[in-house]
């Protein structure tokens, strides 16, 4: 028998963890540190291990649970998931409005507009508040059971308090752009064909047989509709969206109510450009009659509701030409082709280069030097070629072939069986060594200020470094002897190297350049194991138990940490005094609590990196660009487009003096 006080403690922990997960993943406004949350979560894990009788399917510890079904069992919906008719012009929206008013026999109609998220439609079934099934849309009447994978998505609650006995919540599973870019970078390095867009990446991630892989993909979910429901009355779309928020679902905040179709058209036009500033892909706007009684009166065709319409934005594309194809090397030796393009303006920037990923991609699209091509921005960020305009070929175009030998070391280039990538497999290749050293010292890794690519090149040319451990044996007189490094520069670099020793386990793991292990994965491992010695002592299965870490990452990390050459480098770093434990950053105040801050322009008293650290230590978060979540902009000298965008959005802007005063930092 489980003591009652244990049951109560377990339930209290679950309730607290659900609350803080909601604040962190849905509201993006955490109240406690990651360290405090991890301790709370670990306490629950320990109790459930000691008393397995208390484990329930809706416990926060069960997000990554059993294996997905090999055939993704088909399930019929109680109510079909209808598609939406499309509109491509303002006049088509006016025709939709006319049909609605004629069908209802009244001009008193309110509309709700919502961003059309470019993802995968999902039907979530809750019984007495517990998530029991997650189904893809399928053909609209029969979907696939992907429950094990859906449970890994943190913006989907496993349990809803005060829920009706039965409820189907519908919405869109999507992949944030940052996750999409990181995933494709990993696939490029692994020699795997990248996903074409965020939607395909989300769909592929949900159909994984291993839920750990899905968990590592950082998917998210916006709720916007109900299927079948018992015991809850909702009267309008606006009321529904508010109720879904009460149930702790993530609801896209950019919905709006209108009393005329002309207002709707204005909103549609407004978002055509604004949507590019979001952290996820959208391809249109959904327009719905707000009142559910009116929706019911209008009804539906066999495929589409008569009370809703999807306005589709035209894709942002541009035509240019491929001037040449170049090859660059990554830290794992992968040779990646890229196209140098005739400069062209696309989605707010001038594009001069597009990634070509690998030879399979080039062959599939038949891309040649001299071709006229159409480009777009994958994930609204990465320029990519969508198609070749073969009808514009003159016969002078050149077919590209990957070089037979490494452009750096001259050794043969190999295409590993089962991979799309060509790789230099010489572990001593200067290109691989160079990229690993640059990666180790980069901002997201050990952040050695001043250790840029040109300095690394000079150190390599002088035979002063060969692996990251060598950075920490450098003396000022060594550095003074290399090109463009005087006494002051050398002194600053030595100080920066010494300062980097305290970055902590997460930064170190990422800096080591373990194949497949990104910055986020390194943080998850560091939170779980706390010290590098514990990571080394762990088996593959134990590493994989880390939420968000899949089998491939776990296996790669285990292999790396049990390779004699890599352990030699780690021991060099350890002997040099590099910290091999997790760093828990304590807050120093609450001056920026809850703020999403963008730093722009030049600060005279400190670097932007230092200013960002101050903001984080005082409860804030730092963003790289101005978005709808930005609450504050700190503008230094020569602030540019970010400042203009912040002013256009009505975001609070402060200067350096105000920032220093608020942070309690005296002017130097």
Structure tokens at 188: 């490029």
Q: Tell me, what DSSP letter sits at residue 305?
A: B
Question: How many structural domains does the chain have?
Answer: 5
Integer Cα distance of 193 and 292 in angstroms: 45
CATH code where residue 635 lies:
3.40.50.10190
Integer Cα distance of 665 and 591 in angstroms: 11
Is residue 288 domain-shared with residue 379, that is, in the same domain? no
Is residue 138 domain-shared with residue 281, that is, in the same domain? yes
- Parts of the chain with a pLDDT under 70: 28-29, 33-35, 65-71, 189-191, 347-348, 378-381, 416, 418, 584-588, 667-668
In this prediction, residue 34 carries a pLDDT of: 65
| Residue at which a domain ends, from 278, 312, 346 | 312
Integer Cα distance of 382 and 308 in angstroms: 33
Q: Which domain does 234 fall in, by range?
A: 86-312
In this prediction, residue 272 carries a pLDDT of: 87
* 641 phi/psi in degrees, rounded to 5: -65, -30
Say if residues 532 and 505 touch (Cβ distance below 8 Å). yes
CATH code where residue 55 lies:
1.10.287.610
Is residue 274 domain-shared with residue 359, that is, in the same domain? no
In this prediction, residue 311 carries a pLDDT of: 94
In this prediction, residue 664 carries a pLDDT of: 85
- Does 71 map to a domain? no
- Does 110 map to a domain? yes
Distance of CA 647 to the CA centre of its chain: 27
In this prediction, residue 348 carries a pLDDT of: 64
Is residue 243 domain-shared with residue 343, that is, in the same domain? no
| Residue at which a domain ends, from 312, 327, 351 | 312
Is residue 509 domain-shared with residue 636, that is, in the same domain? no
Is residue 291 domain-shared with residue 324, that is, in the same domain? no
Is residue 400 domain-shared with residue 434, that is, in the same domain? no
Structure tokens at 83: 């598609």
- Does 291 map to a domain? yes
- Does 205 map to a domain? yes
Tokens 């968000």: give the residue: 548
Tokens 């932007």: give the residue: 608
Q: Taking the CA of residue 141 as centre, how many other CA atoms within 13 Å lie in the half-sphere pointing to its CB? A: 3
Question: Helices (DSSP H) in 341-471: which residue ranges?
Answer: 359-365, 430-441, 453-461
- Does 44 map to a domain? yes
Residue 201, judged by CB atoms within 10 A of its CB (0-12, 13-18, 19+), counts as buried
- Does 77 map to a domain? no
Integer Cα distance of 271 and 90 in angstroms: 14
- Does 582 map to a domain? no
Distance of CA 543 to the CA centre of its chain: 22
- Does 546 map to a domain? yes
In this prediction, residue 585 carries a pLDDT of: 60
| Residue at which a domain ends, from 415, 447, 476 | 415
For residue 171, the surrounding DSSP H or E stretch is strand 166-174
Query: Following DSSP, what letter does each residue of 67-131 receive, concatenated?
Result: PPPTT--EEE-SS------EE-SHHHHHHHHHHHHHHHT-S---EEEEEEE-SEEEEEEEETTEE
Which three-class secondary structure string do you get for 49-81?
A: HHCHHHCCCCCHHHCCCCCCCCCCCEEECCCCC
CATH code where residue 103 lies:
3.30.470.30
Is residue 452 domain-shared with residue 558, that is, in the same domain? yes
In this prediction, residue 632 carries a pLDDT of: 92
Q: Which of 116, 151, 507, 642 is catalytic?
A: 116
Is residue 531 domain-shared with residue 516, that is, in the same domain? yes
| Cα–Cα distance list, 295 to 59, 83, 299, 306, 607 (Å) | 37, 15, 6, 8, 56
Say if residues 334 and 413 touch (Cβ distance below 8 Å). no
Integer Cα distance of 526 and 509 in angstroms: 8
Is residue 500 domain-shared with residue 618, that is, in the same domain? no
Tens digit of each residue's pLDDT (9 = 90 or more) over 271-324: 988 888 888 989 899 999 999 999 999 998 877 899 999 998 887 788 999 999
Integer Cα distance of 403 and 412 in angstroms: 9
In this prediction, residue 69 carries a pLDDT of: 54
Residues 6+ apart with CB under 8 A from 244: 169, 223, 224, 251
Is residue 223 domain-shared with residue 178, that is, in the same domain? yes
In this prediction, residue 334 carries a pLDDT of: 85
Integer Cα distance of 320 and 351 in angstroms: 10
Is residue 139 domain-shared with residue 227, that is, in the same domain? yes
Is 49 annotated as catalytic? no
CATH code where residue 543 lies:
1.10.150.20
Q: Taking the CA of residue 599 as centre, how many other CA atoms within 13 Å lie in the half-sphere pointing to its CB? A: 20
* 602 phi/psi in degrees, rounded to 5: -100, 130
In this prediction, residue 175 carries a pLDDT of: 93
In this prediction, residue 172 carries a pLDDT of: 96
Q: Tell me, what DSSP letter sits at residue 304?
A: S
């Amino acid at each position: 028998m489980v003591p009652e006080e244990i049951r109560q403690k377990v339930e209290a922990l679950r309730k607290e963890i659900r609350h803080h997960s909601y604040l962190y993943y849905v509201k993006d406004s955490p109240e406690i540190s990651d360290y405090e949350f991890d301790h709370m979560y670990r306490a629950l894990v320990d109790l459930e291990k000691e008393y397995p009788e208390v484990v329930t399917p809706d416990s926060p510890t069960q997000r990554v649970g059993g294996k997905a079904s090999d055939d993704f069992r088909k399930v019929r919906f109680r109510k079909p998931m209808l598609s939406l008719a499309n509109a491509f012009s303002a006049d088509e929206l006016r025709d939709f409005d006319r049909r609605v008013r004629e069908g209802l026999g009244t001009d008193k109609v309110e509309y709700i507009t919502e961003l059309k998220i470019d993802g995968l439609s999902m039907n979530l079934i809750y019984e007495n508040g517990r998530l029991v099934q997650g189904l893809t849309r399928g053909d609209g009447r029969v979907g696939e059971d992907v429950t094990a994978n859906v449970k890994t998505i943190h913006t989907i609650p496993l349990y809803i308090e005060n829920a009706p006995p039965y409820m189907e919540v519908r919405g869109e599973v999507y992949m944030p752009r940052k996750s999409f870019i990181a995933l494709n970078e990993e696939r490029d390095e692994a020699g795997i064909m990248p996903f074409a867009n965020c939607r395909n990446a989300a769909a592929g991630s949900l159909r994984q047989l291993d839920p750990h892989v899905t968990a590592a993909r950082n998917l998210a979910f916006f709720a916007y509709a109900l299927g079948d429901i018992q015991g809850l009355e909702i009267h309008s779309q606006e009321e529904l969206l508010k109720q879904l928020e009460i149930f702790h679902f993530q609801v896209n905040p950019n919905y709006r109510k209108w009393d005329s179709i002309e207002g709707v058209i204005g909103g549609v036009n407004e978002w055509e450009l604004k949507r590019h500033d979001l952290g996820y892909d959208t391809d249109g706007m959904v327009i719905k009659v707000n009142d559910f009684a009116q929706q019911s009166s209008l009804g539906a065709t066999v495929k589409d509701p008569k009370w809703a319409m999807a306005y589709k934005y035209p894709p942002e594309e541009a035509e240019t030409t491929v001037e040449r194809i170049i090859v660059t090397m990554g830290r794992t030796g992968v040779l990646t082709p890229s196209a140098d393009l005739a400069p062209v303006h696309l989605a707010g920037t001038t594009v001069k280069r597009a990634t070509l990923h690998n030879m399979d991609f080039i062959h599939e699209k038949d891309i040649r030097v001299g071709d006229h091509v159409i480009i777009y921005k994958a994930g609204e960020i990465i320029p990519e070629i969508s198609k070749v305009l073969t009808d514009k070929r003159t016969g002078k175009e050149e077919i590209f072939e990957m070089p037979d030998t490494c452009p750096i070391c001259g050794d043969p280039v190999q295409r590993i069986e089962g991979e799309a990538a060509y790789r230099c497999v010489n572990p001593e290749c200067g290109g691989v060594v160079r990229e690993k050293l640059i990666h180790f010292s980069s901002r997201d890794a050990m952040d050695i200020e001043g250790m840029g690519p040109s300095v690394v090149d000079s150190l390599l040319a002088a035979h002063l470094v060969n692996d990251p451990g060598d950075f920490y044996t450098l003396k000022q007189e060594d550095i003074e002897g290399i090109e463009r490094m005087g006494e002051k520069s050398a002194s600053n670099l030595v100080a920066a190297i010494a300062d980097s020793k305290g970055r902590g386990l997460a930064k170190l793991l990422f800096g080591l350049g373990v194949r497949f292990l990104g910055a986020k994965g390194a943080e998850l491992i560091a939170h779980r194991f706390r010290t590098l010695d514990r990571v080394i002592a762990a088996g593959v299965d134990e590493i994989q138990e880390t939420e968000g870490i899949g089998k491939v990452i776990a296996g790669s990390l285990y292999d790396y940490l049990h390779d004699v050459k890599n352990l030699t480098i780690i021991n060099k770093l350890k002997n040099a005094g590099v910290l091999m434990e997790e760093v828990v950053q304590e807050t120093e105040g609450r001056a920026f609590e809850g703020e999403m801050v963008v730093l722009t322009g030049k600060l005279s008293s400190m670097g932007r990196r230092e200013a960002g650290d101050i903001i984080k230590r005082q409860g804030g978060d730092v963003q790289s660009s101005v978005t709808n979540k930005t609450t504050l902009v700190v503008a230094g000298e020569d602030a540019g487009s970010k400042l203009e965008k912040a002013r256009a959005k009505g975001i609070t802007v402060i200067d350096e003096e105000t920032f220093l005063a608020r942070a309690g930092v005296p002017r130097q």
